[in-house]
Structure 1
Amino acid sequence: MDAVCDFIVDLIHAYLSDKPELLCLHCAAVEFPEGLVLFPNTYRSGKSTLSAKLASRGLRLFSDDVLPLSIADRQGMALGILPRLRIPLPETADTHFKEYIDTHAGPANKRYHYSNLADTALAPLTEKAPIKGIVVLERTDEEPPSIIEANRGDMLKNVILRNFARQNTALNILDTLYALVEESACYVLKYNTLEEAANLLIEKFATSESTRSVSNRT
């Protein structure tokens, strides 16, 4: 299993090595009705588990960890890689989500579990979509769940730190990421449970009534 994880990392770097037209962000990305919402967080922030939770609510996953970004049109591109969740799941995870993960079980070891999502829940390799929002995740059990506007300067710094593609000049990278942040709705999401986070995100970004009331997809 560890060898598979290492191989995927090497594969991503090899794929990007001859594609100077792409940046690459360490983030999760989920497709809402008007476009992608990115979660540019670091390791162990909960972005993979939350993105899988959103998939269980009927949304489509573009990435749980790495998202190529087109410099030309600033659209996100799927790599078609199964999401990798840290196990065990959080104690606060609801029963339906646990059943969803069990139903879509893929390769696993004592630390990680790949979720074998259906085609309808995982965007295929090279599919692109515009980016609608950028949300930084903050898990807390000391504050009520909330989603508030983020400082764009702080968000730009966050996104710059998440980019690991270096084939372009620093100025080109900065211009692209600055435009991305300016074009996107930027928020900080504070939450304790996955259900709280999913509800706030769907309320904020799912503009169609059908998605707001989406039934859990298996």
Structure 2
Amino acid sequence: MLQVPEKTQAAQAETRRLKIGWNGVHWIVDVAGCGDLFSDLQKILRGWDIVEQPVTATIKPAMVFSRMGDVYDWRLPANDLTAENLFGCPESNAGAVRDFHFLFNGWFGDEFQQYFTLHCAAVKVGDGVILFPGGHRAGKSLLTVALAANGHTVFGDDVVAIDPVTTEVLSLGLLPRIRLPLPLQAITSELRQTLNKHSILGDAEQQYIDLAAGQMAEVGRSSPVKAIVQLKRTNKTGAASLDDMTNGAALRSLISQNYSTGMPASSVFDHLHKIVEGASCHCMTYHKVDDAASLLEAVFDCQPGDQSGVGQ
């Protein structure tokens, strides 16, 4: 197990503190001796209030990063959770940012329990959001980036919040992250060029994609759900197809992706049932990511170029 050395005065001087907040609630992160990570953490956030603060003993950070030789280490002082006993210490700044991303999602769910969170991608196409319930290697992140490149607005590629009062999707304002290696047979050269052009914070396993303001919804922006599309990516060549899915199957799909622990399960069920009742429900089978994006646009883009949303 890695041993965290006692901080020297020099190490303390190198520690920098970020205060990241929304709606009056804040997450404090200390970064010790790795200035590149200090700036990289901010790159994936959209719409958050971010300020650097002096490091004082009176305010305790929620998360502390440090550099340990060839790896990054982190800990959560409140519960003694560390990188090593959760994921293993990341070996790249992209890996450290990924760990922050994961824990930041959890923090949001804990602090903003008036919302519930789902493991879903969400993209506004036309006048409403399409939810893509989670599925291992289903291509959610690649599809969201492809839709963003076509002018639509990403509300999330991994986790989104739901306002139980309005049942609208709420963006957490976090950039999409695609897994590597890319499925080269499933993407066009144009999409590959787009990914290369906008790639940031990458390593051998992942790559964050830097989206422009109109392509990425800031934290707190909301929009109604108009469709639920379960993704099924196949290695077989052929045109993308969109088939109807029963409301019951769609509801089960969303329930299985519920991340919330602060809201009673019965309440989450009622809210998800309301979303499903107001949306069209489908299952999409596809091989080429661009074909899938084109099919979704043909079916759902009833208001081309509309990128409006309701600010919270």
Compute the TM-score of the two structures, normalised by the length of structure 1. Answer: 0.92
**CA offsets 1:154-191 (integer angstroms, 9 cap, x no match):** 11111001011021112111100111111111000011
CA distances 1:121-163 after superposition (whole Å, capped 9, x unpaired): 1111111111111000011216642101101111111100101
Q: CA deviation at 1:70?
A: 0.6
RMSD of aligned alpha carbons:
1.5
Percent identical = 30
Counterpart AA for 2:260: A
Q: Decide whether the 8 Å contact of 2:134 with 2:140 is kept in 1.
A: yes
Task: Give the structure 2 partner of residue 20 of structure 1.
Answer: 113
- For the 8 Å contact 2:198–2:209, the answer to whether it is kept is yes
User: Does structure 1 retain, via aligned residues, the 8 Å contact 2:198–2:211?
Assistant: yes
1:203 aligns with 2:298: yes
Pick one of 165, 168, 171 that aligns with 2:263.
168
C-alpha contact (below 8 Å) 1:21/1:72 kept by paired residues:
no
- Give 2:126's aligned residue: 33
Distance in 1 between the 2:248 and 2:190 partners?
38
Moved over 3 A (4+): none
Matched, 1:57 2:150: yes
**8 Å Cα contact 2:135/2:231 also seen in 1:** no
More helix by share: 1
Instruction: String of CA shifts for 1:71-129, please: whole Å, max 9, x gaps.
Output: 11101111111100112222121111111111111100001000011111111111111
Residue aligned with 2:196, SS:
helix
Secondary structure at the counterpart of residue 105 of structure 2: helix
Checking the alignment, whether the CA contact within 8 Å between 1:27 and 1:67 is kept in structure 2 is yes
Residue in 2 that maps onto 1:215: none
Distance, in Å, in 2 between the alignment partners of 1:51 and 1:88 is: 17
Mark the runs of 5 or more structure 1 residues left unpaired by the alignment.
212-218
Post-superposition shift, 1:7?
A: 1.1
Higher relative contact order (CA 8 A, sep 6+): 1
State whether structure 2 residue 226 is matched by structure 1 residue 132.
yes
Which residue number in structure 2 is paired with residue 67 of structure 1? 160
Shift of 1:15: 1.7
SS at match of 2:229: strand
What is the distance in 2 between the residues matched to 1:47 and 1:186? 17
TM-score, scaled relative to structure 2: 0.65
Counterpart AA for 1:115: I
Structure 1 residue 8 corresponds to structure 2 residue 101? yes
1:6-29 Cα shifts (integer Å, max 9, x gaps)? 111111111221222111010100
Structure whose alpha-carbon radius of gyration is higher: 2
After TM superposition, the structure 1 = structure 2 runs for residues 100-179 of structure 1, keeping only pairs within 5 Å, are 100-140=194-234, 141=236, 144-179=239-274
Q: Secondary structure at the match of 2:183?
A: coil
1:45-81: CA deviation from partner (whole Å, max 9, x where unpaired)? 1101111111111111110100001111101111111
Count residues with an aligned counterpart: 211
In the TM superposition, what is the alpha-carbon distance from 1:41 to its structure 2 partner?
A: 2.1
2:304 is aligned with 1:185: no
Map 1:79-90; keep pairs closer than 5 Å.
Answer: 79-90=172-183
Q: Structure 2 regions of 5+ residues with no counterpart?
A: 1-93, 306-312
